[in-house]
Structure 1
């Protein structure tokens, strides 16, 4: 665990979650924490929706943990990163990436919430995968397996420092003949190397140029450390892809991406190169997150909030999302994918948008 990433001092808990075996395990890991009983994990006024929390953004992520139960169990169809998005075993994060979409839903704070009813979640996933049968034909997600994203709303590598939930999922998919787990991460947790996934879990290491990462990837593992870990995770039995995300357009952005791609190519061995694939995702930002960031990290907004380059679109939640302008964005995407083809010809681009 990175120093100071987590120092849990207060745990908000649903009584039903605290009574479950996983809940008791988690509470036992933090015996000195203050315990605060709550009716629902997603309705804690002092955490969510309070503008005063902007000034305490990182402290709340460091010191607070929420323990709840997952009420709705559904595997939502996806089609890009995965075939399905699995029911969350956690949401929120101890890291503080300035572009993360999760705070948009929670308001002004998003510490980690862990769900204790892991047995119900794994049971649901096993039954769902069984119902799918054999994948009828290859697609860009995977040629053979149904792929389930297990970390849409959190970073599983960090979640694994708190409970066994992520390990239980890796072990579940290890034994499913027609399915794989998948998650993106910005944190190198070497404890995962001993889990024997047998190729049934895909880790997507998120990468961006060093200058962008230092400004935007707050409290994450350095990009160099993520690249250095790839060969070890391949050797441990993981399928390793990379996630070039978010791509931020600014002065000198293509030159910095060229340097990153060269570092990646030089930093991995033959086994990683053989199956390397990439997702390329350009920045989408949000007016509400923009306002939050102005309260704690305004420097990030100098590159994230670019009205001269972006166009707005009304979001499903009533706010405004901004993305690079139609037409111009297509040229940005083509420029970067051409660069990837040039610098990493062995890396298949799964999709880019």
Structure 2
């Protein structure tokens, strides 16, 4: 099975590969999709000096995302408890992205570029997830994640809609959750991939379209599908058998922010049919930024930092990696959250807010 490649964001010219990945069937399939790409063997997918940790790459940020692909083997298979977007974070089948959202947290961990890395040992990952879901049994009681199913986030560090243009890993995951009786996949996306409409998820996959006001998206959501296209896709994905939620994320506080959110909500309300409205729910996530990502952005997209880096509105907290994360100040943030959630409840009374922070 080979997915049609229709992705203007990618022009793969160099594939960094672990030899073990190239020996696996999925690795061979991926290499066959990009036959003209230069192949560079590496010892480890996450230790490639010319990609990660080199400050000079700031100037080549988008080019690296467009032209480089990393092919590796996922070594550690764990399902981490979550409790917000999902019950568990599934072991990833990819990380990195060809898109270049100015607020993305993945570059903080990987350095100055984060092209797509695909893991070729998909069979082991699928087997692990199926066994893990089997051990959970029936969900004992509803929670805000889902009333019945154990939900696994399959795209914590990547965008699955985009990953599906590179390999069949995402389709394999959707097929798996279509047949698991007690579990559901979930992923957030900013990329409309209509090839997914030809799959058969049977209600076993939740797609969360990330939305924000158009003005914010044009400034911050670099190389993503337009907001209008994401909203337009919702009814089609519901009709195709997906559960579809929305992520109002990240919420950026700036002059006129609430008025622009009101306009976005009006657009969403006018686009949804009754079937989509009945199953809709939302996550509301306010911006968290980082001092290291701030420095990266100053090198390639400084205009974004005019709204992302607002010391007069934000407070800092030491991150697990030793840097500083910044969030809107205590007290002020509570008022922002209340203002937006009240607006959502007024404009979209049928939309359940799963959580907001």
Corresponding residue of 1:190: 194
Corresponding residue of 2:294: 290
Contact 2:211 2:227 in 1 (8 A): yes
CA distance in 2, matches of 1:101, 1:44: 19
**Matches of residues 32-71 of structure 1 in structure 2 within 5 Å?**
32-71=36-75
Contact 2:287 2:327 in 1 (8 A): yes
Give the deviation of 1:2 after TM superposition: 6.8
Tell me how many residue pairs correspond in the alignment.
Answer: 353
Give the deviation of 1:180 after TM superposition: 0.1
Give the deviation of 1:4 after TM superposition: 3.5
CA distance in 2, matches of 1:201, 1:4: 25
Contact 1:4 1:62 in 2 (8 A): no
> Cα deviations across residues 253-299 of structure 1 (Å, max 9, x unaligned)?
00000000000000110000001000000000000000000000000
CA RMSD after TM alignment: 0.7
Corresponding residue of 1:19: 23
Matched, 1:74 2:52: no
State the TM-score, normalized to the length of structure 2: 0.98
**Matches of residues 93-132 of structure 1 in structure 2 within 5 Å?**
93-132=97-136
Give every structure 1 segment of 4 or more consecutive aligned residues whose post-TM-superposition deviation is greater than 4 Å.
Answer: none
CA distance in 2, matches of 1:332, 1:15: 50
CA distance in 1, matches of 2:340, 2:279: 20
Give the deviation of 1:34 after TM superposition: 0.3
Contact 2:238 2:276 in 1 (8 A): yes
Residue of 134, 151, 155 corresponding to 1:151: 155
Contact 2:52 2:112 in 1 (8 A): yes
Contact 1:261 1:344 in 2 (8 A): yes
CA distance in 2, matches of 1:245, 1:229: 18
CA distance in 1, matches of 2:187, 2:181: 19
Corresponding residue of 1:316: 320
Corresponding residue of 1:265: 269
Any gaps of 5 or more consecutive residues in structure 2? none
Contact 1:284 1:322 in 2 (8 A): yes
CA distance in 2, matches of 1:59, 1:287: 23
CA distance in 1, matches of 2:49, 2:155: 25
> Cα deviations across residues 10-57 of structure 1 (Å, max 9, x unaligned)?
000000000000000000000000000000000000000000000000
Contact 2:7 2:165 in 1 (8 A): no
Corresponding residue of 2:351: 347
